[in-house]
Amino acid sequence: MNAEWFIAFFVGSLLLIGPTVAFILALVAYVRSNKIQQLSERVQQLEKTLSSVVGQRTVAVDEPPVVIAEATQVLSEAQASSPVDLNKPAPAAVAAGTAPIGWEAFVGQRAFGWIAVILFVFASAFFLRYAYQNNWIGPLGQVAIGELVGIALVIAAWRHVTQGWRRFAGMLTAAGAVVLYLATFSAFAIYRLLPQHVAGLFLAMIVAESLMISVLYRSLSVAIVSVIGGLLTPILMASDVDNYQALFVYLVTLNLGVMVALQYRAWPAVLPLIGGGTQLLFWIWYHSNYHPEKFAWAIGFNVVLFAAHILFALQGWAYTTVWLQWERLVVFALNALLSFITFRALTVADYGHWQGALAMIMAVIYAQVAYWALRRGTGNTRLPLTSLAISIGFVAWTFPIQADAHWVAVGWSAMALALWIFGLRITNNSLKCLAACLAVMSMVRVIGFDLLLYVRDPFIPVFNGVALPSLCAGMCILVGVLFSERWRRRLHEAEQWAITLFAIAGMILVWLVLSLDCYGYFVSQSIVGGDISVWRLRGQLALTVMWTVLATMQLIAGFYFQRPRLRWFAMALFAVTVVKVFVVDMANVQQLYRIAAFFVLAVVLGLVARSYQRFRG
């Protein structure tokens, strides 16, 4: 037991003293280099000012300008603060022929450097293994050598940072972190020199120290190594006992630490890596160890992570790189989706009837996020529009989760109508696109799902569980088309064509629902009445009459509201009715019904012709 504590004290001292000293020295180097950089920027600005002054007028020798005196003072300060020769020509002044090409610099500086790091790690591992197999070094010696080598690499990285070799210093630091990580892990997993909790603490310390150094060195590679090491720690330290409280606290701390680091360094790929790794670890734990008794800790862990990602998105949006903003937006949207899936998986067994309310809560949260993002006034609308789209998505998700299946399309079409009107008022293309998507989803839902489940039992026409919601969905689309006529001059040509297509699709949807409902009523009556052929003939006659009445109403509305699209659709419906009369009714309908159909249609078409002569001629 004494030897065990001695080893723990030895390894802990190495981990604390060495990286801490390196961290302090790196901080000093960072402050000093920033000061040198500021002085260099001042010198460059003064040189530009001096050049412009000299170009405008000749400077008297006996009366030097203040600009020259200030430039001389700044140059002396810069030379006293740094051994760098400021009189050397800038890199841009070197002849273009002597500068290496891009691929040459990439292979020489980065590729070969990282290959050297990998080869060094493998060489060290093979050497220690060979020495152990030949009894050169015992387990304690191997762990001590690994710790010393890792600390030496970290200190060597600091020395190169002070000389301006940041990229190479990042490579050395990453290699040192890996060696320290492997040495500490081997002390627990291979040689059993350390207890599990002590080794886990040391590994967490290595992750935290390397993450802080990555911020100081501005090294993406060290940050990625830190995040990967942090995500591997729970896997490597796994045991038969499910210590889920410590796991959740550790993952929350790791995520918060990475988010704090990303506030200072806008690195790519780090946020998706930590977010995806955390989700993977949680679902591995969920499938292996979850029990309803652990519900409070599991839901609390996901709520904290969910809130942390939202706050990070609001605080860390001041980035000018467009592709990095898109990466953050993708992570932001995926966090919303995965969080809801997690909340639903944890609550559906005991709180299944509250799933719609859960989706509405998420919608309200993201609507509030969009409001906060707009109030911040960053000038970038990507985050508020993405938040608003997520909020609308959760509202749309509420209907299939909670509502009756046939009313899902009504909810989507009503949302489409509201978004379309709002988008027209504020002239926002994103809201109009969302409205169009929801309208298409509503029509696909009605035609592809609701009408296929049409019941053939006796029912009341129109006012039944299938026709009424389907007609409401179609009417919402037509109301949106009618409302857009006020802003028709503001719309682009493509938007006007889209409105025309939605008008045709909405009228076809209403016509299709009414037709199926009309003919289905007579089919259902035939099941009860017994004489199937008679009821089907009546159904065909009712279809003809209904189409004629519907076309007449549309034609009258087209003349009254001066809508050419309504009149054209009415004439098309009249044409379809005439074709039906000659093709279907003449062949299948009895003589009396055939006469009635032809007579009614002839009278109506005569009135239509007279109306066109009056209003159009």
Predicted confidence band of residue 339 (pLDDT cuts 50, 70, 90): very high
Q: For 331-390, give the DSSP string.
A: HHHHHHHHHHHHHHHHHTTT-GGGHHHHHHHHHHHHHHHHHHHHHHT-S--HHHHHHHHH
Calculate the dihedral angle through the C-alpha atoms of 386, 389, 391, 397, rounding to the nearest 10 degrees. Answer: -140
Q: What pLDDT sits at residue 111?
A: 58
The predicted-structure confidence for 545-604, as pLDDT tens digits, reads as follows 888 888 888 888 888 877 787 888 888 888 888 888 777 766 665 566 666 766 777 777
Q: What pLDDT sits at residue 273?
A: 93
State yes or no: pLDDT of 85 exceeds 50. no
Across 408-544, the runs of DSSP E, i.e. the strands, are: none
State yes or no: pLDDT of 430 exceeds 50. yes
State yes or no: pLDDT of 80 exceeds 60. no
Select the highest-mean-pLDDT range: 320-329, 573-582, 601-610.
573-582
Rounded Cα distance, 614 and 617, in Å: 6
Distances (CA, A) of 433 to 438, 445, 457, 499, 530: 9, 18, 40, 12, 51
Distances (CA, A) of 356 to 352, 396, 397, 442: 9, 10, 8, 19
* Rounded (5°) CA angle 258-233-294: 90
pLDDT, average across residues 371-389: 77
Which residue bears the tokens 């006034």? 377
State yes or no: pLDDT of 283 exceeds 90. yes
Q: What pLDDT sits at residue 282?
A: 95
Predicted confidence band of residue 57 (pLDDT cuts 50, 70, 90): very low
Which residue bears the tokens 């300060």? 77
Predicted confidence band of residue 338 (pLDDT cuts 50, 70, 90): very high
Select the highest-mean-pLDDT range: 25-34, 182-191, 409-418.
409-418
Predicted confidence band of residue 513 (pLDDT cuts 50, 70, 90): very high
Q: What pLDDT sits at residue 304?
A: 95
Contact 219, 173 (CB under 8 A): yes
Predicted confidence band of residue 406 (pLDDT cuts 50, 70, 90): confident
Tokens of 490: 């503001």
Q: What pLDDT sits at residue 64?
A: 45
* Rounded (5°) CA angle 483-485-487: 95
The predicted-structure confidence for 16-39, as pLDDT tens digits, reads as follows 554 454 445 445 544 555 555 566
Q: What pLDDT sits at residue 568?
A: 84
Q: Pick 268 or 146 by higher pLDDT.
A: 268
The predicted-structure confidence for 452-486, as pLDDT tens digits, reads as follows 655 567 778 888 888 888 999 999 999 998 888 87
Select the highest-mean-pLDDT range: 69-78, 151-160, 411-420, 523-532.
411-420
HEC secondary structure over 263-308 = HHCCCCCHHHHHHHHHHHHHHHHHHHHCCHHHHHHHHHHHHHHHHH
Mean pLDDT of the chain: 75
Distance from the Cα of residue 572 to its chain's centroid: 45
Select the highest-mean-pLDDT range: 14-28, 148-162, 501-515.
501-515
State yes or no: pLDDT of 157 exceeds 70. yes
Predicted confidence band of residue 341 (pLDDT cuts 50, 70, 90): very high
Q: What pLDDT sits at residue 487?
A: 78
State yes or no: pLDDT of 98 exceeds 50. no
pLDDT, average across residues 213-222: 79
Distance from the Cα of residue 529 to its chain's centroid: 58
Helix-, strand-, coil-residue percentages of the chain, each rounded to 5: 85, 0, 15
Rounded Cα distance, 82 and 63, in Å: 31
3-state secondary structure (DSSP) of residue 190: coil
pLDDT, average across residues 272-298: 93
State yes or no: pLDDT of 126 exceeds 70. no
Verdict on whether the full-model pTM lies above 0.75: no
Output DSSP code: residue 86: T
Q: For 239-257, give the DSSP string.
A: -SS--HHHHHHHHHHHHHH
Q: What pLDDT sits at residue 305?
A: 94
State yes or no: pLDDT of 129 exceeds 70. no
- Write down the domain spans for the chain: 1-83+105-168+178-185, 493-615
State yes or no: pLDDT of 512 exceeds 50. yes
